[in-house]
Structure 1
Amino acid sequence: MKIGIIGAGNIGGNLTRRLTALGHDVSVANSRGPHTLKDLAQETGATPLDVADVARGAEVVVVAIPLKAVPDLPKDLLAEAADGVAVIDTGNYYPSQRDGRIAEIEDEGLTESRWTERRIGHPVVKAFNGTYAQDILDGPRPAGAADRGALPVAGDDEQAKATVRALIDELGFDTVDAGGLDDSWRQQPGTPVYGLRGGVAEVTAALAEASPERPADFRA
């Protein structure tokens, strides 16, 4: 598939490494410009682009940037993406550590990914937000392996969610359907599944144990 990745930090960079290794046509962008991505491009074969161009023709777009940077994305980011493009949101709200206070999340109880979805004007699928970046490289296991890890995936667009789940399976992980985007609080920071290294049963149980009340450490 043609995949555009916005953000070349720990998650975005390692997804670039794995997805190019699997043979996908990957373009990658960051806020500092394509000239800063030469090393990653040389290592992986990915194409470095400006953020405004990275989604052009893409069937999957990964948004792997700090939440506070989402409003700075181009308003027409997905205008030239492929029809039915699946957008993966890997983001988390860290108010005191990084993002500052976001009223819609704090006061209205909006899930982080719903907030991101409203900013970019396109449905998103929440995945990888609680995944350790190094596990993207070291964690893949073949289907059926007893020690294969699982990732929660939430979203309202069932077709996009199916695309994302198939991609994660190709990356070497099982998935658990975590419900719609309004249910994605179950995998936000501070929940039992956040950062959990476990299989389908463990991830399913952790999602069920989650509380909708945002922990104090993740409130402004």
Structure 2
Amino acid sequence: MIPKPVVGILGAGRFGMVVARLATNAGYPVLIAGSGDPRRIALPHDLTDVVAATAAEVAERADVVVLALPIGKYRTIPAGPLEGKLVIDAMNYWWQTDGILPDFTDPLTSSSEVVRDHLPGSRVVKALNHMGYTDLQDEARPSGQADRKAIGIAGDDPADVDVVADFVDGLGFDPVVVGRLSDGVRLEPGTDPFGADVEAEELRLMIDSFPTSQRGRRRVAAQRATPSERADSE
């Protein structure tokens, strides 16, 4: 049997712990890092197989790295050590909680493209961002179960998207491929999929409704505007 890739998680908050739990249950070796000394990470009693590590150790030892940080800290992600790594961007720019972050205000650019530009040597795929951590924890189901929920995925390399799709399936969800990394905007706050806890068919319909969503309307308006008008609106 081919061994499963080592999963590293940058971010030891509630979301990171849920991903760690799902990945461990699926048989993945898991490393998790917070913002400081790994000895300060309080691992729940059911995560005894998860290894608390530094961000540098996660970057060095993991095959797949999940970004589970507040997006305002994306510049602290170590770009050099993650060169060549498959990175799953599970972060969101949600102005209601993050405040206005100038790096993410361009309506023509998805947040994952900004993250990709910070990690130019990494293979960035968008996934695991649109479902809340409590739903992720409660809704995982075996493959083939009728009421299984879905997770959207967006990435530029089909092989990397396939790896992430297998990972999402292993966690307990049906993968739905949205398109290229730029299409990850269809999963961001201000769209129908954001916060949705739905099956694959309904998720696809939500993704297709992007042009009429709040985020979609902003993008359409920006596409029609002149450069100076776009600058004034940001």
Distance 1:114 1:92 in 2: 12
Change (3 A) 1:200 1:56: same
Q: Return the TM-score normalized by structure 1.
A: 0.88
Partner of 1:3: 7
> Deviation per CA, 1:16-64, whole angstroms, max 9, x where unpaired?
1121222211110011220221434873321111111212132211011
Partner of 2:229: none
Q: Point out the structure with max Rg over C-alpha.
A: 2
Q: Return the TM-score normalized by structure 2.
A: 0.83
**For structure 1, which runs of at least 5 residues remain unmatched after alignment?**
none
Partner of 1:88: 88
Q: State the SS of the aligned residue for 2:40.
A: helix
Asked whether the 8 Å contact 1:90–1:126 carries over to 2, the reply is: yes
Matching of residues 30-41 of structure 1 within 5 Å? 30-40=34-44
Partner of 2:25: 21
**For structure 2, which runs of at least 5 residues remain unmatched after alignment?**
220-232
Distance 1:74 1:40 in 2: 26
Q: Greater CA deviation, 150-159 or 34-43?
A: 34-43
Matching of residues 170-181 of structure 1 within 5 Å? 170-181=170-181
Identity %: 32
Equivalent residue pairs, number: 212
Matching of residues 38-77 of structure 1 within 5 Å? 38-40=42-44, 43-77=47-81
RMSD of aligned alpha carbons: 2.1
Q: State the SS of the aligned residue for 2:98.
A: helix
Q: State the SS of the aligned residue for 1:203.
A: helix
Partner of 2:200: 200
Q: State the SS of the aligned residue for 1:56.
A: helix
Asked whether the 8 Å contact 1:2–1:58 carries over to 2, the reply is: yes
Q: State the SS of the aligned residue for 1:118.
A: helix
Asked whether the 8 Å contact 1:20–1:44 carries over to 2, the reply is: no
